[in-house]
Amino acid sequence: MFINNDVTKATTMQERHVVQPHEAGHPIILSTEDLHVFYGKKEALFEGDLQFGSNQITALIGPSGSGKSTYLRSLNRMNDRIATVTGKIMYRGVDINQPGIDVYEMRRRVGMVFQRPNPFAKSIYDNIAFALRLRGTTDKYALDEVVETSLKQAALWDQVKDDLNKSALALSGGQAQRLCIARAIAVKPDILLLDEPASALDPVSTSQLEDTLLDLKQHYTIIIVTHNMQQAARISEYTAFFNQGRVLEYDTTSQIFTNPQVQVTSDYVSGNFG
Amino acid sequence: MNSKRQNKIAIGALYGIAGLVVLILLALLGYILASGVPQLSWHFLTAPAKAFLKGGGVGVQLFNSFYLLILAMAISFPIALGAAIYLYEYARDNWVTTTIRTAIEILSSLPSVVVGLFGFLFFVVKLRLGFSILSGAFALTFFNLPLLTRSIEDSLRTINLEQREGGLALGLSRWETVTRVILPAAVPSILTGVILSAGRVFGEAAALIYTAGQSAPALNFADWNPFNISSPLNPMRPAETLAVHIWKINSEGIMPDAKAISSGSSAVLIIAILLFNFTARYVGKRLYKRLTSA
């Protein structure tokens, strides 16, 4: 019976299966159309057409070199000097992948947290406040308030509220990563891009980080690249599976993990490769 | 011979070589300090030199050395900083940057006497600056620029790429990222490089013989108007430095205590350079600690 079942499944397997999110209350805030990324002559991303619903968490999964990080980094144009990105990235109806766009302004709307925590060699307070000061917020009380709310949202406030003037480099890995999240949300973005944010953290910090992300989605749209499939399953509403520079499957996370429509996805999520 | 034994012999040889280097350094330092320190006195450090009589000091030369050092640093540091930021933070790897790097490399391996002669022909003669502190400072800039650029570039290299991405991801421009994130983090290491290169500049003689000149006219330390000829601050006066003074006394000194003055000057020079080195280490460490653990 099992064998029989497998055969029928194999015959119905598709090459590609994409279901864009379409839930009421979660309008599409960001989408890409016909996105291609080239490193020099080498094409790293052949096409990525994905839509992201606001205030949801979308996980990008796939084996190493599948193009998921490349895709993520294209979304706030962090690849500008490294790669050539063609196609459209629509953010609230505007194509942000065109020359006339103010990239710096755009990156404040689409923030990013990286794989390795990268706090600046400044005090905890200044890590958060200094980008705001650069943009003209000099009022001490306003800054204090942003620092406090950002740290609270990143669930770091209680641990550091007495040490705001200490160097951020003394924080532990998990705390430093929270600080980076606080720093990113302090400039009031809509969207948070996270590139394997937990891969350098221990399991306890990882699970705390996941709780934080679940809280944060009330305020932000979150797109997270992860190697950890349990993590994707635990926190995301939608999951995109990347392989060899293509999006092979995009659907609700429960569909991807319980009833994948593409053979490669099925192999990947069941741990047969990758 | 088994590998254990081989290893022992190799370690022994390496220890021997390292020991030899340290020994040579200690012997040199010991000799210079032993023969020089007894000559030192407040009078020696402050009095002007005497050409024919006993009992001259190196006050003017010492002042000249520091003044020249400060001027040379004031000229070369901004240029080196700019060049290093351009090369490391902005430039892409292409033939232009390759050419610049090669030029810097060649410039840094130019013998300092060649730099001095070029300075003589160009600044002293062609630009009519004469034997002056300014000519000397320009020559030292040529001598110092490539080394300083290299050391600042190395300092920038020690700051992780992630720091730059962190800045950009917050919506900072590349310039803001460099000036607000990267440079503050690189300050300890840049400062160490600056102080070390200051030591090198301080001890330089060959590049100055033909540019800042070999005479040290008496200075009036009460006159700080840079436009007066006897003012210490006048950048257009000839200014023999300590290192040049040592060279000159040894080659053509006719004062009766030439040997003693030369030993004393060498000791002052060595002590100053050692101070530069230790300060560099101390300041670099302190700053790094302040930035990392506060």
CATH number at residue A45: 3.40.50.300
**Contact (CB<8Å) B169/A130:** no
Count the domains in chain A.
1
Yes or no: say if A182 and A150 are a contact pair by the CB < 8 Å rule: yes
pLDDT (mean) for A222-247? 93
> What is the DSSP track for chain A?
-HHHHHHHHHHH-BS-EE-----TT--EEEEEEEEEEEETTEEEEEEE--EEETT-EEEEE-STTSSHHHHHHHHTTTTTTT-EEEEEEEETTEE-SSTTS-HHHHHHHEEEE-SS----SSBHHHHHHHHHHHTT---HHHHHHHHHHHHHHTT-HHHHTT-TTSBGGGS-HHHHHHHHHHHHHHT--SEEEEESTTTTS-HHHHHHHHHHHHHHTTT-EEEEE-S-HHHHHHH-SEEEEEETTEEEEEEEHHHHHHS-SBHHHHHHHTTS--
Domain B40-292, second-level architecture? Orthogonal Bundle (1.10)
Domain boundaries, chain B: 40-292
Region A49-71: mean pLDDT is 93
Chain A: give the shortest CA distance to residue B177, in Å. 10
Nearest residue, CB atoms, B172 vs list A104, A123, A184: A104
Residues 66-125 of A with CB under 8 A from B: 76, 78, 81, 104-108, 111-114, 116, 118-123
What tens-digit pLDDT sequence spans chain B (294 residues)? Answer: 688 999 999 999 999 999 999 999 999 999 999 999 998 999 888 888 887 777 788 889 999 999 999 999 999 999 999 999 999 999 888 898 899 999 999 988 989 999 999 999 999 999 999 999 999 999 999 989 999 999 999 999 999 999 999 999 999 999 999 998 999 889 889 998 998 899 889 989 999 999 998 888 888 888 888 888 888 888 888 889 999 999 998 888 878 888 889 999 999 999 999 998 898 888 888 887 776 655
Confidence band, pLDDT 50/70/90 cuts, at residue A11: very low
Judged against a pLDDT cut of 90, whether residue A95 lies above it is answered with yes
Give the tokens for residue B155.
């300092």
Report the residue of chain A nearest B187, measured CA to CA.
A121
Cβ-based neighbour number of residue B148 at 10 Å: 28
The shortest CB-CB distance from B169 to any of A76, A165, A167 is to A76
Task: Write out the residues of chain B at the interface with chain A, using a CB-CB cutoff of 8 A.
Answer: 92, 160, 162-163, 165-173, 176, 180-181, 184-185, 291-294
User: Please, which pLDDT band fits residue A2 given cuts at 50, 70 and 90?
Assistant: very low
Q: Percent of chain A at pLDDT above 90? A: 64
Contacts of A26 (CB under 8 A, 6+ apart): A53, A54, A55, A56
Lowest mean pLDDT among A13-22, A108-117, B103-112, B239-248: A13-22
B258 in Cβ contact with B62 (< 8 Å): no
Identify which of A236, A221, A169, A230 has the alpha carbon closest to the alpha carbon of residue A203.
A230
Residues with Cβ within 8 Å of A134's Cβ and at least 6 positions away in sequence, in order, are: B172, B176, B180
Residue B291, pLDDT score: 67
Q: Which residues of chain B does A130 touch, with a Cβ-Cβ cutoff of 8 Å?
A: 180
Instruction: Considering only the beta carbons, identify the residue of A119, A130, A167 that sits closest to B293.
Output: A167
Indicate the range of A78-87, A180-189, B16-25 predicted with least confidence.
Answer: A78-87
d(CA B62, CA B43): 13
Contact B165, B245 (CB under 8 A): no
Determine contact, residues B136/B205, Cβ cutoff 8 Å: no
A239 touches chain B (CB under 8 A): no
Nearest CA in chain A to B162: A118
Distance CA B221, CA B234 (A): 11
Please give the span between the terminal C-alpha atoms of chain A, in angstroms, as a whole number. Answer: 29
Please tell me the distance in Å from B171's CA to the nearest CA on chain A.
Answer: 4
CA pair distance B157, A15, nearest whole angstrom: 45
pLDDT surpassing 60 at residue A221: yes
What residues contact residue B252 under an 8 Å CB cut-off, 6+ apart? Answer: none
Residue A113 lies in a domain: yes
| CA distance, residue A189 to nearest chain B CA (Å) | 10
Pair A230, A59: CB distance under 8 Å: no
Q: Residues 6 or more apart from B19 whose CB is under 8 A from it?
A: none
| Contact (CB<8Å) A123/B294 | yes
Say if A166 is an interface residue toward chain B (CB within 8 Å): yes
Nearest to B185 among A121, A131, A180 (CB): A121
- From the list A27, A192, A1, A3, the residue with the least C-alpha distance to A113 is A192
A76/B166 touch (CB, cutoff 8 Å), yes or no: no
Residue A142's domain spans which residues? 2-268
Spatial distance between the Cα atoms of A177 and A200, rounded to a whole number of angstroms: 9
- The answer to whether residue A234 is domain-embedded is yes
Distances (CA, A) of B193 to B86, B101, B157, B200: 18, 19, 13, 11
- At B57, which amino acid appears? G
In sequence order, the 6+-apart residues with CB closer than 8 A to the CB of A144 are none
Task: Give CA–CA dist A183/A163, Å, rounded.
Answer: 16
Chain B hits for A187, CB-CB cut-off 8 Å, are: 170-171
**Residues 172 to 201 of A: which have CB under 8 A from any B CB?**
180, 183-184, 187
pLDDT at residue B280 in the model: 85
Of B165, B171, B184, the CB nearest to A105: B171
pLDDT for the residue numbered A270: 87
Q: Identify the pLDDT of residue B159.
A: 93
For residues B141 and A38, what is the distance between their CA atoms, to the nearest angstrom?
Answer: 43
- Of residues A104, A165, A167, nearest to B171 (C-beta): A104
Could you tell me which of B31, B36, B52 has the C-alpha nearest to residue B242? B36
A273 part of a folded domain: no
The length of chain B in residues reads: 294
B162·A118 Cβ contact <8 A: yes
**Helix or strand run (H / E) with residue B267:** helix B258-292
